[in-house]
Amino acid sequence: MAFSQDESTYKEQARRIPRPSHNFVPEYQMSGVPYVKKITLADVTKVTFDHVTRWVIVKNPAGNNLVKLGFNAAGVAANNFYLLEGDLNQTAEDGSQAADFTRLSSETPRLEIKCKELYLSGTNGQLVYVIAGLTNVMAEDFPDQTSANGFTGVE
């Protein structure tokens, strides 16, 4: 006998196959669903994902302005953040030593991190780009990244 159920009456609790959790390894073995967003920073800007990330890249096109990257507001305010700064441009276009040391655009390496939100801090009005690969795991199924939930080094 074949299983048949009206799809409109499906409830998560009554599903035969539960949706994947953040510990479901195959979600992190396959390619992520693309996510790209251009963000104008305020004092501390929260970036929320609908699904848990597989990896994240943050690009700082204005390398003269530093960007702090953290996983909760307390971490960005304290000392638990990744500082994204531009590389110093020490060479002029003709190959000689540059008179001014300007910072070029910079980006994080591809961070193989599962998270549901990022916190960015920089100069007000500064632009950054967030690029991520998302899993099929719903963000609501992932715990908040705080020390109370067992995450160390985030606050």
> Tens digit of pLDDT for each residue in 131-146?
999 999 999 988 888 8
Query: For residue 74, what is the enclosing H or E element?
Result: helix 73-77
Q: What is the DSSP letter of 18?
A: P
Q: Is the pTM of this model over 0.85?
A: no
Q: Residue 128 in contact with residue 41, Cβ under 8 Å?
A: yes
**Annotated domain spans of the chain:** 42-145
Q: Residue 71 in contact with residue 118, Cβ under 8 Å?
A: yes
Q: Model confidence over 83-115: pLDDT tens digits?
A: 887 655 555 455 555 445 455 568 889 999 999
Q: Model confidence over 50-86: pLDDT tens digits?
A: 999 999 999 988 766 788 999 988 888 888 888 887 6
Question: Residues near 120 by Cβ (< 8 Å), separated by ≥ 6?
Answer: 39, 41, 44, 45, 47, 58, 67, 68, 69, 76, 128, 130
Neighbour count for residue 126 (Cβ, 10 Å): 20
Q: Residue 18 in contact with residue 24, Cβ under 8 Å?
A: no
44 forms beta bridges with 121
Among the listed residues 88, 47, 44, 38, the one whose alpha carbon sits nearest the alpha carbon of residue 67: 44
